[in-house]
Amino acid sequence: MLDPHQIEVFCRVFEEKSFTRAAERLGLSQPTVSSHVKSLEDELGGQLFDRLGRQIEPTSAARLLYEHAMELLALHDEVEERLHSHLHGKRGRLSIGASTIPGEHLLPRVLGGFGRRWPDIEIVVHVASTRQIIELVASGELELGIVGARAPNPDLDFEEVAVDRMVLAVPRTGYWEGHKSITLDELKKQRLILRERGSGTRIRFERQLMAVGEKLQAFNISVRLGSSTAVCEAVKAGLGVSVTSWHSVRSAIEAGTVLAVRVPELGELRRSFYRVLHQRRARSSLCDAFVEYLEAKRQTAAGEAADDATPSS
């Protein structure tokens, strides 16, 4: 491996055609400069300068090395700068994993503010199921994830960052117009649209069914889809009904194309979204900055909710 410092010394000697003038330019002693060049020659196994009395002349090997040496030094400086920025600055790329609800509905709003605060960064969001994102964080392929469920992994740290509620989304048809709520037995007769296995939405729904003594197999499952957006579109198209995130159907409900119906036996279906980090892996300063930003947003939201809950005097 070529020593970048030796390469820099070589370049100055090549340019000055003098060990003494190169030493003055570098702020080193002449013997130190000579020693660096000699070590580089030993490393390469060939002579770089012809010593002609008090003058020196670069050899053909020196000319070839100099052609590429400046590129090597520039690349070395660039790598050092980028690494320093990655570890200590607020530049570079931030890669975040997110399950579909936070990836499609929550993160875009949060990332907008974070991006305005740090305009020199590139943000990449990888959207997959909760289970997949957790696996990617556990393996080190992602520094950080936002997911809809916890996992029993002692290496991972989960912290709640947002709360969501789940609703039974139904198409706006004549049948559903008069329904404000239905029973679980009535729900079993409907064509049920589900998310894929590993989805936080599905995990939460199945856990609630178990809590009330029911199993998913007792329902008429008609469609399984890989995203919350696809579920909403399927409900609008009349393919069935779905217990899904309020965030994923909010726009459709406000537009009047989808209705929200209660299932009292399931209780209030609330769920949390979690920030997940690997506790034993090093993180970039950019990742740490985003974690701090998320926490500040969470505390602000909690403070506003507390204010709203306080009766006026």
Question: Domain 92-161+272-306 adopts which CATH fold?
Answer: D-Maltodextrin-Binding Protein; domain 2 (3.40.190)
Reported as a pLDDT band with limits 50, 70 and 90, residue 186 is very high
- Pick one of 3.40.190.10, 3.40.50.1100, 2.60.40.680, 3.40.190.80 as the CATH number of 165-271: 3.40.190.10
* DSSP secondary structure code for residue 269 in this structure: -
The distance between the two most distant Cα atoms of the chain, rounded to a whole number of Å, is: 104
pLDDT for the residue numbered 294: 86
The single residue listed with the structure tokens 């100055």 is 12
**What are the sequence ranges of the domains in the chain?**
4-88, 92-161+272-306, 165-271
Distance CA 214, CA 276 (A): 30
Output b/e per residue, 275-292; b: 16+ Cβ within 10 A: bbbbeeeeebbbbebbbe
The pTM for the full model equals 0.61
Is 4-88 assigned to CATH 3.40.50.300?
Answer: no
pLDDT for the residue numbered 88: 56
- Please name the residues in contact with 164: beta carbons below 8 A apart, sequence gap of 6 or more: 101, 148, 245, 246, 247, 270, 271, 272, 273
> What's the pLDDT tens digit per position in 24-45?
888 888 999 999 999 989 988 8
Q: Does residue 46 sit in helix, strand or coil?
A: coil
> What's the pLDDT tens digit per position in 69-102?
878 877 776 676 666 665 555 667 788 999 888 8
Helix (H) or strand (E) holding 14: helix 4-16
Distance CA 85, CA 168 (A): 47
pLDDT for the residue numbered 91: 65
How far from chain centre, in Å, is Cα 44?
Answer: 44
Reported as a pLDDT band with limits 50, 70 and 90, residue 204 is confident
Strands (E), the chain: 49-52, 55-58, 92-98, 121-127, 144-147, 156-171, 191-195, 220-225, 242-245, 258-261, 270-278
Nearest C-alpha neighbor of 146 from the set 97, 196, 197, 198:
97
Give yes or no on whether 4-88 and 92-161+272-306 have one common fold: no
Mean pLDDT, the chain, whole residue set? 85
